[in-house]
Amino acid sequence: MASNQTEPKGHAIIERSTTLLFVLTLFVILIGGLVEIVPLFKVQETVRPVPGMRRYTPLEQIGRNVYTREGCYTCHSQQIRPFRDEVERYGHYSVAAESMYDHPFLWGSKRTGPDLARVGAKYSNAWHVAHMIDPRSVVPVSIMPAYAFLMNKPVDPEQFGAHMEALRKVGVPYTQEMVDRAADDIRAQASGEDADAMLERYPKAKLGDFDGQPDRLTEMDALIAYLQVLGTLAELPPIDTKVEARP
């Protein structure tokens, strides 16, 4: 063809060189990425702090692991959206700071059961135990599976410090003291005895035997300890506070 004998011009230069085409394509794609990502590096805090938030106690964190393992998040969400119907039913909508110590997030995306973001302190421990053993015994229309076996799954308090160290590596700021005292804190929370030091580390933690078996430390204790703390920590302004005045 005639064009073979003439020097390529303009866009034809790029089209005829794979290397040049690759480099320039990459450059164009990078622009899009930079525009989206760079501002986030410069934002001081993407999560606005809320008073009252604290790290999970070791017992709550064990319960959280049970929650993750059993896949509770596949049927229960943990995020209340800012709509009046949701706010009237579940309470204040969820804010980012409430998930700041969550690894991984358990927000969920489906509500076969109700949202659990603020289920803490809504029911008694006895209700949770009855409901886990046989959900139909307290909620006749429930289709939730029974989790009675958690009553017989022992929790070993000694091993959990290592897990907290792992969590620290992914960004949960557990102190060395928290890691070292994990076993004591677990026993203190589940028994309610000698809990002063533990409460200093983890304010507002719920104490006592959770599963109705005072002589045993089980995954039921841990799971209920976790459920009872959900949504009870953050101190949020009333829902009708003007958005600009919020933390």
Partner 1 sequence: MAVPEHDPLTGYKTTGHEWDGITELTTPIPSWWVTVFLASCFVAVLYMWLFPSFATTGGYYRGSLGWSSRGDLVDDVAAGRAAQATWRSALVATPIEAIEANEDLRRFATTGGRAAFGQNCAPCHGVGAGGQIGQFPALVDDDWLWGGTIADIYQTIRFGIRSGHEEARDSAMPAFGELISAQEIDAVARFVLALSDPTTLASRQQMPGAPIYATNCAACHGAAGEGGRDFGAPRLNDAIWLYGGTLEDVRKQIVVPRMGMMPAFTTRLDDETIRMLSVYVHTLGGGER
CA distance 209 to 215: 9
**Residue 36 sits in the site that holds partner 1 (CB under 8 A):** yes
Q: Does 3 bind partner 1 (CB under 8 A)?
A: yes
How many other CB atoms sit within 10 Å of the CB of residue 229?
A: 23
Closer residue to partner 1 (CB): 36 or 158: 36
Site size with partner 1, rule: CB under 8 A: 40
Answer whether 90's CB lies under 8 Å from 115's CB. Answer: yes
Stretch that binds partner 1, among 123-131, 161-169, 170-178, 219-227 (CB under 8 A): 123-131
Shortest approach of partner 1 to residue 39 CB, angstroms? Answer: 4
CA 191/CA 113 separation, integer angstroms: 30
| Both tokens assigned to 185 | 């804190």
| Candidate residues 39, 170, 200, 215; the one interacting with partner 1 per rule CB under 8 A | 39
**Binding partner 1 by CB under 8 A: which of 122, 153, 163, 168?**
122
Candidates 55-63, 82-90, 145-153, 158-166; binding stretch for partner 1 (CB under 8 A)? 82-90
Q: Is there binding between residue 240 and partner 1 (CB under 8 A)? A: yes
Q: Under a CB-based contact definition with an 8 Å cutoff, are residues 89 and 239 in contact?
A: no
In contact, 78 and 107? CB cutoff 8 Å: yes
Distance CA 75, CA 141 (A): 15
Which is nearer to partner 1, 68 or 137 (by Cβ)?
A: 137
Give the integer Cα–Cα distance in Å for 231 and 53: 10
199: DSSP letter: H
Q: Which stretch binds partner 1 (CB under 8 A): 49-57, 61-69, 115-123, 178-186?
A: 115-123
Q: Is the CB of 6 or the CB of 18 nearer to partner 1? A: 6
What SS3 class is residue 56?
Answer: coil
Cβ-contact 107, 210 below 8 angstroms:
no
Q: Does 1 bind partner 1 (CB under 8 A)?
A: yes
**Applying CB under 8 A, which of residues 53, 93, 168, 191 lies at the interface with partner 1?**
93
Question: Considering only residues 14, 75, 138, 146, which one is a binding residue for partner 1 as defined by CB under 8 A?
Answer: 138
β-sheet bridge partners, residue 154: 218
Q: How far is the CB of 167 from partner 1 (least distance, A)?
A: 28
Choice between 54 and 93, CB closer to partner 1: 93
H helix or E strand, kind and range, residue 154 = none
E strands of the chain, at which residues? none
- What is the binding site for partner 1 (CB under 8 A)? 1-3, 6, 35-36, 38-40, 42-43, 82-84, 87-89, 91, 93, 118, 121-127, 130-131, 137-140, 206, 239-243, 246
